[in-house]
């Protein structure tokens, strides 16, 4: 089935009780049983909910996996993956990843005795060298946030298999429309559905998708035991978002390319980080594993001062100054003081995330309006 057809029909069946074409919002906490232990497969809504079930099936289908699990946020999905581990286990992860993931690893899980080793995952040899007998999980994000670095998923998956470690890929930035990590050998795909999957900046949610039934059972056990489940209304919103993922992503890609090329030709712009450029250092891998390059990018200004970056950030009229990404409207963000403020400055700068870096989530408005807005803001 082609992507457009798949996204529109993923997970949804006419409702068995009425024939409703849209999955109803089952706003209930419990289900009446015919006799003790005799039920319709639904007992208590932390464990099962029909709206969530439809969405979890949709998640599985759009990532070419067998099983999907929905969580109350992207970080709750990440939290569930780390809870597969025990004290003493080691995780190898990227040194350039979502700030909230870094915070969860360093501030919450490190104190439970789980060890995190941060490497430049774009260089797979660094991952290979970091592997030890205790390595249980490799966590990568590609493209990375905000520097748009690309890691070779198939190559890392081969290393993970050899080490008998689980490979989990945060696929939030690419979305399933552009990249499907399970097809490249990953064990788990994680999404912040808050972003492209929801697509309208009106919901917080996360998901995991996997093929292995034992892994699904463990993660389902964590989901229901720890309880970070999304409500049915939020599940409904993401189900609706997924139906237009392909048309939104096509426009995000088209607009992204136009904005990236505009910025690159602007005399006051320094570096532009966008993985669609032919001379982007990982463009070959991006082309191999992605169907397009999306609307996420970062750039610096030639006048590389924080004040100049702040001036641009405060001058856009169409681009809204806000955290988050992947919605239909364009956003502009200052990673150093906003999304990545939880990473110590020294660490940030070492990884290329300078004080003047500006990140864009290019939305699906008219590209000419977006370019005119950036042009007046850069001045």
Ligand X SMILES: *Cc1c(COP(=O)(O)O)cnc(C)c1O
Instruction: Indicate the pairing of strand 135-141 with strand 90-94.
Output: parallel
Candidate residues 26, 105, 118, 173; the one interacting with ligand X per rule CB under 6 A: 173
CB closer to ligand X, 170 vs 301: 170
Helix (H) or strand (E) holding 3: helix 3-9
Q: Is 234 a catalytic residue?
A: no
Asked if 141 is part of the footprint of ligand X (rule: CB under 6 A), the reply reads: yes
Beta carbon of residue 91, minimum distance to ligand X (angstroms, whole number): 15
Tokens 């999905």, residue? Answer: 77
Neighbouring CB atoms inside 10 A of 302's CB total: 13
Contact 130, 152 (CB under 8 A): no
Candidate residues 26, 59, 67, 98; the one interacting with ligand X per rule CB under 6 A: 98
Asked if 101 is part of the footprint of ligand X (rule: CB under 6 A), the reply reads: yes
Q: Which of 244, 256, 61, 236 is nearest to 148 (CA)?
A: 256
Neighbouring CB atoms inside 10 A of 214's CB total: 8
Count of residues in contact with ligand X, rule CB under 6 A: 16
CB closer to ligand X, 232 vs 371: 232
* Residue burial 325-350, b: 16+ Cβ < 10 Å; e: rest: bbbeebbbbbbbebbbeebeeeebee
CB closer to ligand X, 45 vs 193: 193
Name the catalytic one among 7, 98, 102, 177. 98
Q: Which stretch binds ligand X (CB under 6 A): 49-57, 132-140, 190-198, 304-312?
A: 190-198
Asked if 196 is part of the footprint of ligand X (rule: CB under 6 A), the reply reads: no
Give, in order, the Cα–Cα distances in Å from 159 to each of 127, 131, 152, 186, 241: 8, 9, 11, 11, 35
CB closer to ligand X, 163 vs 208: 208
In terms of C-beta density within 10 A (0-12 exposed, 13-18 middle, 19 or more buried), how is residue 14 classed?
Answer: exposed
Candidate residues 12, 51, 73, 330; the one interacting with ligand X per rule CB under 6 A: 73
Beta carbon of residue 48, minimum distance to ligand X (angstroms, whole number): 22
Q: Is 46 a catalytic residue?
A: yes
Q: Which residues are designated catalytic?
A: 46, 98, 170, 195
Q: Tell me which residues touch ligand X (CB under 6 A).
A: 73-75, 98, 100-101, 141, 145, 170, 172-173, 192, 194-195, 204, 206
């Amino acid at each position: 089935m082609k992507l457009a057809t798949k996204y529109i029909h993923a997970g949804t069946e006419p409702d068995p009780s009425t024939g409703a074409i849209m999955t109803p919002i089952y706003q209930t906490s419990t289900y009446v049983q015919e006799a003790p232990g005799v039920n319709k497969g639904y007992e208590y809504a932390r464990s099962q909910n029909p709206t969530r079930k439809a969405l979890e099936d949709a998640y599985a289908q759009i990532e070419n996996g067998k099983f999907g699990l929905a969580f109350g946020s992207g970080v709750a999905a990440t939290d569930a993956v780390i809870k597969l581990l025990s004290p003493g286990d080691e995780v190898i992860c990227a040194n350039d990843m979502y700030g909230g993931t870094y915070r969860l690893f360093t501030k919450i899980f490190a104190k439970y005795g789980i060890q995190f080793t941060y490497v430049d995952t774009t260089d797979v040899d660094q991952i290979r060298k970091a592997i030890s007998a205790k390595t249980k999980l490799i966590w990568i994000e590609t493209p990375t946030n905000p520097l748009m670095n690309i890691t070779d998923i198939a190559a890392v998956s081969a290393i993970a298999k050899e080490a008998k470690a689980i490979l989990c890929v945060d696929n939030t930035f690419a979305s399933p429309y552009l990249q499907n990590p399970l097809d490249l050998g990953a064990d788990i795909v994680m999404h912040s559905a808050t972003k492209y999957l929801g697509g309208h900046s009106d919901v917080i949610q996360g998901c995991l998708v996997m093929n292995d039934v034992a892994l699904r059972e463990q993660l389902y056990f964590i989901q229901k035991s720890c309880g970070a489940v999304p409500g049915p209304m939020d599940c409904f919103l993401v189900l609706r978002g997924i139906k237009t993922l392909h048309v939104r992503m096509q426009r995000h890609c088209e607009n992204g390319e136009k904005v990236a090329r505009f910025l690159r030709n602007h005399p006051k712009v320094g570096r532009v980080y966008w993985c669609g450029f032919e001379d982007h250092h990982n463009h070959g891998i991006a082309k191999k594993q992605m169907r397009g390059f999306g609307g996420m990018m970062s750039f610096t200004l030639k006048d590389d001062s924080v004040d100049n970056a702040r001036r641009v950030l405060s001058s856009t009229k169409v681009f809204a100054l806000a955290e988050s990404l992947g919605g239909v409207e364009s956003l502009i963000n200052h990673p150093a003081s906003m999304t990545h403020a939880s990473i110590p400055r020294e660490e940030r700068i070492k990884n290329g995330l300078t004080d003047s870096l500006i990140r864009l989530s290019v939305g699906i408005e008219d590209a000419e309006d977006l370019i005119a807005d950036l042009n007046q803001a850069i001045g």
